[in-house]
Copies of this chain bind each other. A is one copy, B any other.
Amino acid sequence: MYAPHIHNLVFGVSLWSCLLLSTGAFAADVAKSPHGPDDEMGVLNTLTAAQSLAVLQRVSSGKVYDLSVEYFVGMPGLADLGMGDPPYHIWMTHTPSGIKVEKLSPAGGPPDLALYDDAITMSTHSGTHFDSLNHIGYGDKIFNGFEATRYLGNKGWTKAGADKIPPLITRGVLLDVPATKGVTMLPDAYEITTADIQQTLDKQGVNLQPGDAVLIRTGRMTVWPDAKQFVPNEPGITRESAAWLIDHGAVVLGADTMGVEKFPMAKDSVHAYAFAERGVPLLELTWLEELAKDKVYEFAFIAAPLKLRGATGAPARPLALPLRAEKPAAPQALGQ
């Protein structure tokens, strides 16, 4: 059931791509989901419990790699783009001294109970986070044709939000592009090509499979959290290389950058393409340094964003567990 759907989507897009190239003009439209008019999950519909099981059974040692950065005041983020998004902020709502002054009565407890509470404000695109399919569309529509006029409230979309991204337990693949290129960090605005990706897969001895979460390392985290170095002109994939990855099975496109794609965005934006044309979410600001250092190129990828209803993105703390080498027969089993 899985491949045909993807192929339909791929073929449609490929045809469209040809037209685009032949005319030189840009004219895209949102895709109709192969999973029905109510679908809000896109390609993540194709993941199966059997696939999750197969990956977990290959976990080698139980060692867990934490792919999330910390959230802290001053961390680089959307606020650094100058479009008015609020930066990450945390503050104390209760401390014992404040509670005493305010004569609050927490609900019981011993006299010397010391209660501390805090609260946060942040862009939903802060730190390690998923981009939902409703983050970017074309014109008035997002993926599967949902229109802003019908589904966009002041408290977020009622369609295709972060709450619709299911828990993901699938194979993850690291693409350590700077290692392939022999550099610490890819240069600013570097376009990661399909050739770069193929070369990296070859070097790493990994093939892509349907259902993979592909995490692309650019080395950008080596300058984290220096916003001046980190934020402007990120290196990243292009529409062409994104298409290649999705065509070869990627269901999540992740990176160690804020935007996954090369910035400034090209006319044929990877964001819009992945969400609106392919139904593929992005995963941004992942911490891939330990995986890269230990040359862990395939792993069980376990991730689930906070279920912020309707949100265009949501933080997550993705985990990676190295896998044993796959037995030859395994891939066939996945599609069953």
Contacts and interface: CB of A to CB of B under 8 A. Distances in A.
Interface of A: 26, 28, 48-54, 56-57, 59-64, 66, 68-74, 78-79, 81-87, 89-99, 101-102, 104, 106-125, 127, 134-142, 148-158, 163, 166-167, 169, 259, 263-269, 271-272, 300, 302, 304-313, 315-317, 319, 321
A305 B319 contact: no
Given A63-B49, A152-B97, A155-B73, A266 B108 contact: yes
A94 B78 CA distance: 11
A267 B136 CA distance: 38
Given A56-B321, A72-B309, A109-B265, 7 more contacts: A51-B62, A71-B307, A95-B152, A101-B153, A113-B269, A113-B272, A121-B121
B86 A89 contact: yes
Contacts of A81: 107
B149 A97 contact: yes
Nearest to A51: B62
What is the total number of copies of this protein in its complex? 4
A206 B83 CA distance: 46
Nearest to A136: B115
B108 A267 contact: yes
Closest 10 A/B residue pairs (Cβ): A53-B62, A108-B265, A98-B154, A52-B62, A49-B62, A109-B269, A72-B309, A101-B153, A73-B84, A108-B264
15 contacts: A48-B62, A53-B61, A62-B169, A66-B304, A68-B306, A70-B308, A71-B307, A83-B104, A86-B93, A113-B138, A114-B148, A117-B125, A119-B122, A120-B121, A121-B121
B109 A150 contact: no
A92 B89 contact: no
Contacts of A94: 83, 85, 154
A44 to B, nearest CB: 12
Contacts of A53: 59-62
B90 A156 contact: yes
A123 B116 contact: no
B64 A169 contact: yes
B135 A116 contact: yes
